[in-house]
Amino acid sequence: MENSGLNFILQAAFWGTVALTVAGAAIAIFPKNILYNVLGLALALTGIAGFYLFLGSLFVALMQLLIYVGAICIAIVFAIMLSRPLHIEAPARPTGKVLLGILASVVFFVGAVGVALKTKWTPAAGHVYKASQWSVEHVGDALLTRYELVFEVISLVLLVAIIGAVITAGFSRRISS
């Protein structure tokens, strides 16, 4: 009886995380106020961190919160504050392109769901992960030895994002002056 109660709580938490992520994605897309878009992005990325927790990777979940929610979203908010474009005017979109985009999205979604339903989701034979493999010490060692190039590329992407936010803020300020 206790096990079914725990499963119910885990299922409810998982679907709550799904709802949080989807709601954040909708908020990131639909409002015309760019600040709401960024807050929706932060909410969606927080939901993604929840998925990492369900996958058993506390370190990656914390890095998701620290880097993407903390650093990137805050950098975007600072760029918005420096440039002052709070409302985005939606450009006119031809109906044909919108319908083609919706059709492509539906086809992709149906294909992804089909693959997910037909796939046998079992761990690969011989791949038993121990909790010690996901410790901060082990992940840090792997990032600085085995995955050094990936670590450097991630650092470069973050640097480019910050520089892009600063340049965008400066460019928008020159235009509005």
Q: Which domain holds residue 100?
A: 93-121
Instruction: Read off the pLDDT band of 22 (50, 70, 90).
Output: very high
Owner of token pair 């990131």: 28
CA-to-CA distance for 78 and 142, rounded, in angstroms? Answer: 33
Residue 155: strand, helix, or coil: helix
- In this structure, the answer to whether residues 80 and 108 fall within a common structural domain is no
Quote the number of domains for the chain.
2
Q: What is the pLDDT of residues 66-116, one digit of tens each?
A: 888 888 878 777 777 776 655 656 677 788 998 999 999 999 999 999 998
pLDDT at 152: 79
Cross-strand bridge partners of residue 100 = none
Q: Looking at the structure, tell me whether residues 76 and 162 fall in a common domain.
A: yes
Q: What is the per-residue pLDDT across 41-75, written as a single tens digit (0 to 9) for each? A: 999 999 999 998 888 878 888 888 888 888 887 87
Give the span between the Cα atoms of 97 and 161, in whole angstroms: 29
Pair (65, 11) in one structural domain? yes
Whether residues 135 and 115 share a domain: the answer is no
pTM above 0.75, yes or no: no
**Does 97 share its domain with 152?**
no
CATH code of residue 35: 1.20.120.1200
Do 74 and 39 lie in one domain? The reply is: yes
- The pLDDT value recorded for residue 86 is 58
Half-sphere exposure of 142 (CA within 13 A, CB side): 9
**Using N-to-C axis directions, what is the helix angle for 136-144 and 148-176, rounded to 10°?**
80
Same domain, 166 and 133: yes
Those residues whose C-beta lies under 8 Å from the C-beta of residue 36, and which sit 6 or more positions away, are: 27
pLDDT above 90 covers a percentage of the chain that reads: 25
